[in-house]
Structure 1
Amino acid sequence: MAKQAKNEGVLDRISTLPDHILCHMLCFLPIKDAVRTSVLSPRWRYLFTFMSTLDLYDYRQFRGFTRRDFNDFKNFVDRLLLFPKQQSLVTLELDIPGDMKIPPDLVSSCHVLEELYMEFVKLGSNITEVNIHNLSLKRMTLEFVLVNRDKDYKMVINAPNLEYFKIYDMLADGYRVSSMNSLEHANIKVHQCPEYAIYDVNRERAATNLLQAICNVKCLYLLITHAETLIPMGPEPVFAFHKLVQLKFVNETEAWVGTWILEFLHCVPNLEILHLALDAASEGIKPLAENVPSCVSFHLTEIRISRFVGDEPMFQMISFFLKHATVLETLIIAMKYLTEKEELSITKRLLELPRNSRSCQVITE
């Protein structure tokens, strides 16, 4: 009995746990420490390759690396992701400092990569092109923080099987993006630099190309500053979102133009749910806006208005929707910075507006 107790005292209970539990534990470690566990014993040698998330944020510690160092790092990533026992979902996270050169084929050779998160911090003069090519990717997030506009850069994306795409950018000089036919959700936040607020044909083309690439999306969050300048609407729109059923359009830093919003709705003929989160308007709806978008006439069932402060341009917009929406079921209006007396007065006015849809309910909150 004493001998048995002694053996139990040295039993490696952690190593006897199932693989999925050990891999879950490794996910809480930095990638370098997770890889180091491979030397513990044969039992641990390849466990780190089963990790569902690969956090390579330590990449930012590699400042001063030579080209050979970068090649060694890339080869490690390639071997890690292409390891034959790696069958589970892989998530790759990269934090790229602006003074670092990016190996253009860093993720292209991985055939099991399904989720990619890349953050570019203070993108600098070393970066002239961001090139992402991967056919297995299903989710991708690209965030550009503190972009240096002294040096233009271009973005090339070939990920045709994406189901979720998020990009937060200060508007690259150009986008070359393959069509994303499987796209379900897109979150597009594009901020234009103040020096480019005036009409710029290159920025206009870049923004248009980006929207054309995601035109198969079903649910879209869209924030584009100076949208009416970057994406001028005309009688013949250059893109159409035929599959889009849910749209949230946001503006944060500049006044919105009512006519432009209605013209954009002509590009989403089958839209069912519309959410507008807008600040103060610079221009309401012009008389020519009586050309009613087909989605308003036949498909819109829910409209949500955020940040409503009782301004006249938004009253015009709401009145337009109620007048022309034939199948609208719910109009939700969230009021902001209003006293109780102001809310009551505005609610009364809203409820008095004529409605084309008999089943439409106007809800204030």
Structure 2
Amino acid sequence: MAETSTASKRSMGTDIISSLPNSLLCHILSFLPTLYAVRTSILSRQWRHLWKDLQVFDFDDTELNWSNERFALFIDAVLSQLRFPHIRNLSLSCQRGLDNNKVIDNAIDNAIGRWIRAAVGPCLQEMILYSSYGEFYPDYFDGIFTCASLVSLTLGGNLVLDVIPWVYLPLLKDLTLLLGVSVEHDFISGCPALENLYIDYYGSLYPEIHFLSTSLKRLSLFEVREFDDPIISEIQIDTPNLEYLRIFLAGSCVTSLVISDFPKIMEACLEIAPLDEHVAWLPKLIQALSKTKILDFGWWTTECLVEAPNLHLPEFSCLHELSICYSNFNSGVLIKLLCCCPKLQLLGIDINGVQYFRDQTPQSSWTQPASVPSCVMSHLNIFEFRSYSDSSEEREFLAYILQNALVLKRLIIYAKIGSFEKEEHILSEISVLPRGSSICQVEARILTRYEFSSALWLTISMLCRVI
């Protein structure tokens, strides 16, 4: 009878989802933009007021073809009908900024401040705020920077954070800043539990930038200012428990780097414009990364290394993966790096499209090394060469690795855009090269037009920043 009853209900189109507890239904609705969560009220009587029990809200004006006034009225209506007044997560994205070619008036600015103050409370754990509605000062979001329950905070847009009177976020672990301004040291020091910090500057900066934290594990610093902006006199990084570091300096001229060692570092990615000031302090940064297991050098960083006089590299005793990008292949720096990586297992090389903008093809600088790096003979398992152009220096280095890599398992060659005849030509050339490993498998592929165009577009965009 029970089986017959169940089958009968299914045949009648029973709403299985509606039979779930309201708490579980609210959890499902929390993954939707708030507008769609509210629209579920038309499904049935049970769903009519279900959204009023939500504690997670996502308001984004870029996804709605609404006027700013209608968008504001919708948020006010939602927040005024909540059954539980304490919000747990709030994502508020107000990026349209202009309405009918008119400047947003103060009423909209005040509305954003009102929504934020409504969210700040003892249950708030995550807040995402991105606004393009003019410049926002602390008065608009008073309470965020002293919210004792906040665990994750994302701020973006025209937010002015240099006049914050007091910051104390004892539980904050994740902080993302996508701003046109810098953050004072006091802001970071007010977050004693901070573990992940992502900063993307696209506007003016203070003359000095300080990252001082004993709890920080991941630091990503992106800076994309114009060259005519003021020089940054100093960047200081004192984060002894850091595990991941990514630095992208595209436009700023940083004259000094004050840095401590990173004994727990696991991965580092560096893309630092090849200015004389950067060439001077980059070796100091590389020294501090000697314990990392994964190291990624962008082509600008490699240019810095090539230009550095009397380059002294530390021993990367724990390094397992090395990725290095070139504008023009230079085997000298790479050989020096390999000699300092006794346990390297994976080597990746990428020659991007920058040389297409140069007038002359660079001359080969290949010099047969006096000895073979220990990692090549005993640890290197995978060698991937992207944007291979079959230049004389590239061929010499490739032959050198194949002959001396005794435990190499895979060699993967991505040739620059061409034809299948070129692929066959590269394969035939490689097939006759002496190999030190009997188990090495060689693969040659042609970069697709999409892959090549994407790399070239990225190269052009980066060049535009430095020209």
TM bracket, shorter-chain basis: 0.7 to 0.9
Alpha-carbon distance in structure 1 between the residues aligned to 2:348 and 2:306: 22
Distance verdict in 2 for CA 1:208–1:318, change over 3 Å: same
Task: Specify the code of the residue in structure 1 equivalent to 2:390.
Answer: G
Alignment check: 8 A CA contact 2:399 2:433 kept: yes
Q: Does 1:323 align with 2:403?
A: yes
Q: Distance in 1 between matches of 2:114 and 2:416?
A: 49
1:138-191 Cα distance to aligned partner (Å, 9 max, x none): 111101112536524211011111121111014622211221122111111111
Q: Residue 3 of structure 1 aligns with which residue?
A: none
**Cα separation, 2, equivalents of 1:190 and 1:33:** 41
Partner of 1:300: 380
User: Which of residues 142, 146, 164 is equivalent to 2:244?
Assistant: 164
Contact map agreement 1:256 1:283 (CA 8 A) in 2: no
Question: What is the aligned counterpart of 1:273 among 338, 346, 370?
Answer: 346
Superposed CA RMSD? 3.1
Of residues 156, 160, 164 in structure 2, which corresponds to 1:71? 164
Q: Verify: 1:175 aligned to 2:257, yes or no.
A: yes
Aligned residues: 322
Instruction: Give the partner amino acid of 1:206.
Output: W
Q: CA deviation at 1:284?
A: 3.8
**Residue 54 of structure 1: aligned partner:** 153
The equivalent of 1:355 in structure 2 is 435
Q: Is the 8 A contact 2:403 2:434 kept in 1?
A: yes
Q: Cα–Cα, structure 1 residues 155 and 345, in superposed 2: closer, same or farther, change >3 Å?
A: same
Shift of 1:206: 0.6
Confirm whether residue 28 of structure 1 aligns to residue 103 of structure 2.
no
Higher relative contact order (CA 8 A, sep 6+): 1
AA aligned opposite 1:151 = I
Deviation at 1:38, TM superposition (A): 4.1
Tell me which amino acid in the other structure corresponds to 2:207: T
SS at match of 1:320: helix
SS of the equivalent of 2:377 reads helix
User: Does 2:307 correspond to 1:227?
Assistant: no
Question: CA contact under 8 A between 2:342 and 2:373: conserved in structure 1?
Answer: yes
- Aligned residues: percent identity? 23
Alignment map for 1:98-117 (pairs within 5 Å): 100=181, 102-117=183-198
CA contact (8 A) 1:123 1:148 kept: no
Inter-CA distance 140–15: structure 2 relative to 1 (3 Å threshold): farther
> Per-residue CA shift, 1:260-286, capped at 9, x if unaligned?
211221121211100000246735453
- The TM-score normalised by the length of structure 1 is 0.78
Give the partner amino acid of 2:92: L
CA distance in 2, matches of 1:192, 1:36: 45
- Give, in whole Å, the separation in 2 of the partners of 1:292 and 1:33: 66
The partner residue of 1:264 within 330, 333, 337 is 337
Greater Cα radius of gyration, structure 1 or 2? 2
Rate the CA distance shift 1:117–1:101 in 2: closer, same or farther, 3 A: closer
Aligned to 2:274: 192
8 Å CA contact retained: 2:302, 2:325 = no
User: Cα deviation per residue 1:59-116 (whole Å; 9 max; x = unaligned)?
Assistant: x333xx8x7xx132xx1xx23x12xxx4xx621122343xx56422220231121111
Task: Measure how far apart 1:352 and its partner are.
Answer: 1.1
For residues 85-104 of structure 1, the aligned pairs below 5 Å read: 86=171, 90-97=173-180, 100=181, 102-104=183-185
8 A contact 1:332–1:363 mirrored in 2: yes
On the 8 A contact 1:246/1:272 being kept in 2, the answer is: yes
Judge conservation of contact 1:19–1:47 (CA < 8 Å) in 2.
Answer: no
Displacement, 1:227?
A: 3.2
Corresponding residue SS for 1:186: strand
Letter in 1 for 2:153: L
Query: Which residue identity lines up with residue 71 of structure 1 in the other structure?
Result: I
Contact kept, 8 Å, 2:55 with 2:87, in 1: the verdict is no
Q: Name the aligned partner's letter for residue 198 of structure 2.
A: Y
- The CA deviation at 1:340 is 1.4
Runs (5+) with no aligned partner, structure 1: 1-7, 197-201
Deviations 1:288-340 (A, max 9, x none): 42422111121111100000122221111110001111111111111121211
* Match in the other structure for 2:462: none
TM (norm. structure 2) is 0.62
Q: Contact conserved, 1:140 with 1:162, CA < 8 A, in 2? A: yes
Partners of 1:215 and 1:338 in 2: CA distance: 39
In 1, distance between residues paired with 2:115 and 2:292? 37
Distance 1:187 1:33, change over 3 A: farther
User: Residues 336-357 of structure 1: CA distance to partner in whole angstroms, max 9, x if unpaired?
Assistant: 2121112111211111111011
CA distance, structure 2, for counterparts of residue 265 and residue 24 of structure 1 = 53
